[in-house]
Chains A and B, each alone.
Chain A
Amino acid sequence: MTQPLLSVRGLQRRFGGITAVKGANLDLCEGELLSVIGPNGAGKTTLFNLISGHDRPDGGTVRFGGVEVTGSTPERLAALGLARTFQHGRVFANLTVRDNVLMGTHSRMKLARPGPPLLGALRELFLALIRPPGVRAEEQALRREVEDILHLFGDRLIPRLDRPAYSLSYANRRRLEIARALALRPRLLMLDEPTAGMNETETAEMRTIIGQLKARGQTILLIEHKLDLVMQLSDRVIAMDDGAEIAAGTPAAVRHDPAVVEAYLGHRHMGGEQTPDAVALEASP
């Protein structure tokens, strides 16, 4: 087996007396789609935050692309090619759709390369002010790329290119966030409940989009509550409850794992086509 793109070992996070993540392990290879499922409060989002650098683990290691990145900053991970979306949606409300997606290209911009401390920043300021042809060409190329990315979402976002993000519908904001993450050209795309708050049609549309991304070879780590979607898209599934992994394996195996069924009892039945109450719980932004 080749070296996994993402490798998590014994990851822990405690909040006061509560251990939100108790020694999580996972491996994700290039081109794979791994889903993390589990009831609310299972520690899925905390695990995401620990991997993407938005929170610091109390123990364990994270390796990404063969580099040890435990406790690294989100900006460094972004530069290494890790992009994520957020559970409740975080778009730049006062920026236009175009500018939101352009922000996703930030870590790839030649102009914004870190460079030596202080001097790198001053160089960036200077070049931004005088705007030499190279800088202008780069910006133009990125703008074209933004439109290409947005075409993935059909006519959902393209007609709204110059609208501020606050004027978008909830579902469109979720799409915009994914577009922004894709603009990073991520080696690993982490999606935190991409269909939360979406109706059936929108969910089906999102499933198609994620399927397309997967077909392109995009490596994806997905948190999702809608099990239909998980079962259809995932190569492997990890089920978590109470901060720990309770089952892992193929979608079918995890679905029928007694521990998983047990964890979900009281929440909903496993494998039902419809999960209205779960959707309702997760929908509120």
Chain B
Amino acid sequence: MGAWLDYTINGLIVGNIYALLAVGLALIFGVSHLINFAQGSIYTAGAFIGWTCAQRLGTPLPVTMAAVVLGCAALGVVIERVGLRPLAGSARIAPLLATIGISFVLDQGLQLLYSPDPRSLPSPLPAWRIQVGRGTIGALDILIAATGLVSAAVLFGFLRFSRLGWAVRATAQDSEAARQMGVNTDAVNRTVFAIAAGLGGLSGLLVGMYYNHIDTAMSFQATLKGVVAQVIGGMGNVPGAIAGSLLLGLTESYGVALFGSSYRNLFAFVLLLIVLVLRPNGLFAGRQAMSPEPLTGTFIAPSRPWDVPRWAVAVCVLLAALLPFLPNSAYALQVLTNAWLYALLAISLTLVAGTLGQVSLGHAGLLLIGAYASALLALDSGLPVWLSIPAAGFVTAALGTALTWPAFRLRSHYVSIATLGIGEIVGLVILNWESLTHGPMGVTGVPPLTAGTVELDSPQASYWVALAVLVLLGLMQSRLLGTHLGRTFRAIRDDDVAARACGVSLDRYKGLAFAVSGFAAGISGAISAHLYSYINNETFTSQVSVLALTMVILGGMGNVLGAVIGAVALTGLPEVFRFTAEYRQLIYGLVLLLMIRFRPQGILGTA
């Protein structure tokens, strides 16, 4: 029993930390309908500001905490200015994508500043623990709980009693009306970002001290947890976010108690999906009076795509096919093979994100399914590689569509969050389903590419295989877009209500698009597995999903050729300029930000 009390206390403490993240997200969503994906980066920044103060400058804890809050609040103001305000009036999803770009930039900035090595951040508090029943509570637990309570109280007082707090609430209810009444909504947004960032940074500091460990890679998980907690509580609902956070903390803690720590995140994401499917407005939303606000408006900038003549495409393909005959092309071949595989992923994503308008952030999950399906079929079932790869494509099409099925009834932001969760779940299931996937060990000795008796593992052969598959699937997708299916997908993207009135079954066509998309992504993952010869659950992470989305936006949403160009640009250019890995993420983030801001229709235009 004592252990259970400990798990409960631990769950509540962790929940309190999530609450500091989620409250900020809820406030921001409340006033600007934006999910701030940079929240986790601010959390990490808070941890590092705290580390600098405490370890380098030797400041006492209250000063450290104040520095973290102020530093992060300033950061929040900058993010609002750069990421949000210039995008007023663009598609709802645009600022969300911008915050993803900002998070890339911030994370890599921190990594360059502090190096990726983890650091310890010891708690300066005394190490005593009090006995509560048969569990114990330490000084830091009390500090975290107190911080949570005090922050909630201050926030409540601010929103309830200060003029600016009223302005925030007015803006949340109806920003247009608030502006008409003379509320400075820019100031409101700035304030909300400052509060959210201050709380997020504080959360990072407390977590760092709680685990005595900080590193620059902890942002993404923090963002995810905050978002999950917020969705559970209801987007934009501040008390709901606190309750959702505590519920999430407890669920994780009990999940860990029952199944072990590798299940922690699985529980979080399964909870997310259950809530999204059953109560998309959150557990604490009253019975919805009106239908939930339609979060329509995908990231589609009205534009006419560039009509690239067929002969030009054919010439490019021919040139690409002749490249291996050039002397000293080994390095270029390696880079471009990788680019072709990314391009496969990008055409897969551009179909659902661009043509169908469902901005998926979970395509890494499809790559993983494809990679594992082909590797395991070849290794454990002895299927020849030239059969296991297409088989993996079909497996991914079927499994990917089935997994995304629950998200078909969702819209806009919710689709992105749900697919992000689904992508994470795929990785976590692979990690935990040891009997099938070899678990955390990964799969070693994946056989190289062969076709019958022909070995295709030379760089030239791999290159041609990847190029040929890309051309084939790219042509297939273009052909598909020219039929009534392309028209129907785009109609669903533009207005799903009107599409249904025309007799379009959303499930059927979303299913078809995700199946075609899953096939291409699965093939890409499968070929990668045979080229890498080793894969594990972290071979493709959510960062890959975001990178693919950046490629798709760069090329022009829904544009097949654009997706290929985006993939080549983002995998090839960093090589050309010999950027090191850390700078690459920075570049991806900047490209994403600049495209959203200045050329949302991408290079070739949306199709």
Contact = CB atoms under 8 A, between A and B. Distances in A.
Interface of A: 15-16, 52-55, 73-75, 78-79, 83-84, 86, 90-95, 99, 102-104, 106-107, 109, 111-112, 114, 120-121, 124-125, 128-129, 131, 139, 164, 166, 180, 184
B436 interface: no
Interface stretch (B277-285, B501-509, B591-599): B501-509
A128 B485 contact: yes
Nearest to A85: B501
9 contacts: A74-B503, A75-B505, A90-B495, A91-B498, A103-B487, A103-B488, A109-B484, A125-B516, A128-B485
A120 B480 CA distance: 17
Contacts of A164: 302, 304
Most buried by B among A52, A128, A164, A166: A128
Nearest to A90: B498
A106 B516 contact: no
B490 A95 contact: yes
Contacts of A104: 502
A93 B304 CA distance: 12
A131 B483 contact: yes
A30 B329 CA distance: 73
Interface in B484-498: 484-485, 487-488, 490-491, 493-495, 497-498
B512 A125 contact: yes
A47 to B, nearest CB: 16
Closest 10 CB pairs of A and B: A107-B503, A78-B503, A16-B289, A90-B498, A92-B494, A74-B500, A128-B483, A92-B491, A103-B502, A106-B502
Most buried by A among B300, B476, B502, B516: B502
Given A94-B606, A109-B484, A86 B498 contact: yes
B290 interface: yes
A175 to B, nearest CB: 15
Given A54-B497, A93-B494, A124-B512, A180 B502 contact: yes
Interface string B450-492: 0000000000000000000000000010011001110110110
B511 interface: yes
Most buried by A among B487, B490, B505, B511: B505
Contacts of A111: 484
Contact of A128 (B300, B484, B515): B484
Contact of A94 (B479, B494, B502): B494
Contacts of A16: 287, 289-290
A117 to B, nearest CB: 9
Contacts of B516: 125
Contacts of A91: 494-495, 498
Nearest to A166: B302
B590 interface: no
A217 to B, nearest CB: 22
Nearest to A105: B502
A42 B511 CA distance: 39
A120 to B, nearest CB: 8
A221 B506 CA distance: 26
A95 B494 CA distance: 8
B152 interface: no
Nearest to A138: B484
Contacts of B484: 102, 106, 109, 111-112, 128, 139
Contacts of A124: 485, 512
A103 B499 contact: yes
A163 B484 CA distance: 18
A120 B516 CA distance: 15
Contacts of B499: 92, 103
Given A16-B289, A114-B505, A75 B500 contact: yes
Nearest to B290: A15
B503 A106 contact: yes
Contacts of B491: 92, 95, 99, 103
Most buried by B among A74, A86, A94, A124: A94
B550 to A, nearest CB: 22
Nearest to A89: B498
B506 to A, nearest CB: 8
Given A15-B289, A102-B484, A109-B484, A129 B498 contact: no
A91 B77 CA distance: 39
A94 B485 contact: no
Given A92-B499, A94-B493, A125-B480, 11 more contacts: A15-B289, A74-B497, A86-B501, A92-B495, A102-B484, A107-B503, A109-B484, A121-B508, A128-B480, A128-B484, A131-B483
A99 B495 CA distance: 14
A73 B479 CA distance: 31
A184 B480 CA distance: 23
B488 A106 contact: yes
A135 to B, nearest CB: 8
A78 B502 contact: yes
A142 to B, nearest CB: 9
Interface string B302-315: 10100000000000
A260 B235 CA distance: 43
A195 B12 CA distance: 58
Given A95-B487, A121-B508, A129 B479 contact: yes
A102 B290 CA distance: 32
B456 to A, nearest CB: 27
B494 A75 contact: no
B82 to A, nearest CB: 29
Nearest to B485: A128
Given A90-B495, A125-B512, A74 B490 contact: no
